[in-house]
A and B are shown apart, each in its own frame.
Chain A
Amino acid sequence: MHIEIDEISKSFGTTAALHPVSLSLPSGALVALLGPSGSGKTTLLRILGGLEYPTSGRVLFDGQDATGLTVQERRAGFVFQSYALFRHMTVFENIAYGLRARPRAVRPTTAEIARRVTKLLELIQLPDIGARYPSQLSGGQRQRVALARALAIEPRMLLLDEPFGALDAKVRKELRQGLRDIHDTTGLTTVFVTHDQEEAMELADLVVVMSMGRIEQIGKPQDIRSRPATPFVREFISA
């Protein structure tokens, strides 16, 4: 799905988290929102997911105005920074949650839900952990379960907030490839937030560098590397 961000701004009280920003994300792209903390990247992601409403501006999904859509109507698969798995539910129930939450008329049968959850567990290469609780999983496993849970609702896009932030360096490298594979398999427009320039450059098709609520540069990783548009970008990517 093509995502168009049109002059979106957001202020909390008197502080502006986002100055009007515009951005076009082509369908099927893997996009990184890259910037230091306080750059507005997470705010922008949450606006896309419908968890925050913009102070002004519009969001367009495939050309349709989606600004007023509720978080449920957006159907955005969202992976939270510390994964926000439901701690009192098993992995199976976590992944099935979105399917069970559907209105009765479009809710899959119990057997169909079980089939889909099993398939998702295979997709994240953890077929045998359905009966476990989140507290019994490693960080990397939790991240993949969160991804499976987000994919279960057959989302129109995938939004990830610092998906590798809570992991150690070795697991981080493995899961990067995992996200790339899942993106390529599903073909979903995927946006992830990161403060790690190496991660953004290595993983994304398109990198959006942000600072202080503004977009500094939009481009392919190699373009940003070879032609940084502002002193901030040059400094940030060489760090």
Chain B
Amino acid sequence: MSDATLVKPAPFRSATEEAPAARWTLIAVAFAGLAILVFAPLIAVFVEALADGLMASLQSLASADARDAIRLTLIIAAISVPLNAIFGIAAAWFITKFDFRGKAFLITLIDLPFSISPVVAGLCIVLMFGANSALGGWLVAQGYPIVFAMPGIILATMLVTFPFVARELIPVMIEQGRAEEEAALTLGAGGWRVFWTVTLPNIRWALMYGVLLCNARAMGEFGAVAVVSGKIRGQTATMPTTIEMLYQEYLSVAAFSLAAVLALLALVTLLLKTALEIRHADQLAAKHSH
């Protein structure tokens, strides 16, 4: 007892904390990884874009090809993200509010686009709707081609980004349970009213978060879109596919300028996402528990 008082107390350290040396090494490794893998390439994109000065960069963005690509990418995102938001809400609602056989299988199925290569996803759409398939041939004959046209790009984008909204919503909705919806029903509200006044307000921040992630991926999608679009300049070339084409043609200022725009869009998304996380941490917390 008296011995204990003589020992100089060690500086307070919680049980899960590492020794200072280990701590600093880990932090340094993490920062080095981030710097090499994320920051350096990002800075390189902007440096390359501005290699011939800001004017040259802006001029390349004003070219018809670049403007068409930007317009197409924005249209694709504007169509596929809202549709995926609706599908995601419907899937999450169905999975969390009802009990049925095969629920786990359905959740796995929703995750499939995460694990499948986008190129394979694109090829699936070509096989389904290409001019050589029965369905695709018929659609082309009717004057509604899917592959090498806008519908195909939208399908490919939606397929690849399908899990984002549903994945954000399912854990939040599971955590919130059904009690509030049931309470609204006992108070006389119908299904739609319950959805608009109880369900949607409760999931709104998680939904925003999912939509932002979905949007970032939709604008950046390359593999699946490259396969189904045919990369026809001025018609089916999106921003990512145009960047690749410009780069292959050694038009590096044009390629990196467009890449910088795409990176900026992604950075804005990231900022919005971070702002959401800070302001609504409690409501988003549920998703971290799985």
Give the contacts of A60-75 with B (CB-CB under 8 A).
71-72, 74-75
Q: Is B1 an interface residue (CB 8 A)?
A: no
Partner of A82, one of B179, B186, B197, B202: B179
Q: Do A51 and B179 have beta carbons less than 8 Å apart?
A: no
Chain B at the A interface: SS class: helix
B134 — which chain A residues lie within 8 A by C-beta?
none
Q: Is B102 an interface residue (CB 8 A)?
A: no
A50: nearest residue on chain B (CB-CB)? B186
Q: Do B182 and A51 have beta carbons less than 8 Å apart?
A: yes
B180-207 Cβ-contact flags toward A at 8 Å (1 or 0): 1011111111100100011001100000
B183: nearest residue on chain A (CB-CB)? A84
Given A80-B179, A82-B179, A88-B188 contact (CB < 8 Å): no
Q: Is A77 an interface residue (CB 8 A)?
A: yes
A102 — which chain B residues lie within 8 A by C-beta?
188
Q: Do B186 and A71 have beta carbons less than 8 Å apart?
A: yes
Q: How far is the CA of A84 from the CA of B182 in the complex (A)?
A: 8
Interface residues contributed by chain A, number (CB under 8 Å): 26
Partner of A80, one of B182, B188, B201, B202: B182
Partner of B189, one of A78, A81, A82, A97: A97
Given A80-B179, A88-B201, A101-B186 contact (CB < 8 Å): no
B159-195 Cβ-contact flags toward A at 8 Å (1 or 0): 0000000000000000000011011111111100100
State the Cβ distance, B96 to closest chain A Cβ, in Å.
15
State the Cβ distance, A158 to closest chain B Cβ, in Å.
11
Q: Is A98 an interface residue (CB 8 A)?
A: yes
Q: How far is the CA of A50 from the CA of B186 in the complex (A)?
A: 8
Interface residues contributed by chain B, number (CB under 8 Å): 16
A82: nearest residue on chain B (CB-CB)? B179
A84 — which chain B residues lie within 8 A by C-beta?
179-180, 182-183
Q: Do A88 and B202 have beta carbons less than 8 Å apart?
A: yes
Q: Do B184 and A97 have beta carbons less than 8 Å apart?
A: yes
Q: Is A1 an interface residue (CB 8 A)?
A: no
B198 — which chain A residues lie within 8 A by C-beta?
86
Q: Do A51 and B185 have beta carbons less than 8 Å apart?
A: yes
Give the contacts of A95-124 with B (CB-CB under 8 A).
97-98, 101-102
Q: How far is the CA of A85 from the CA of B193 in the complex (A)?
A: 16
Q: Is A47 an interface residue (CB 8 A)?
A: no
A74 — which chain B residues lie within 8 A by C-beta?
186
A87 — which chain B residues lie within 8 A by C-beta?
180, 202
Q: How far is the CA of A8 from the CA of B175 in the complex (A)?
A: 31
State the Cβ distance, B123 to closest chain A Cβ, in Å.
41
Q: How far is the CA of A72 from the CA of B180 in the complex (A)?
A: 14
Q: How far is the CA of A102 from the CA of B189 in the complex (A)?
A: 7
B190 — which chain A residues lie within 8 A by C-beta?
72, 101
B1-22 Cβ-contact flags toward A at 8 Å (1 or 0): 0000000000000000000000
A148-180 Cβ-contact flags toward B at 8 Å (1 or 0): 011011000000000000000000000000000
Shortest Cβ-Cβ A-B pairs, 4 listed: A98-B187, A84-B179, A78-B186, A101-B189
Q: List 5 A-B contacts (CB under 8 A).
A: A49-B186, A75-B188, A76-B186, A77-B186, A153-B188
Give me the interface of B with A, judged by CB distance under 8 Å: 179-180, 182-190, 193, 197-198, 201-202
Give me the interface of A with B, judged by CB distance under 8 Å: 49-51, 71-72, 74-78, 80-82, 84-88, 97-98, 101-102, 149-150, 152-153
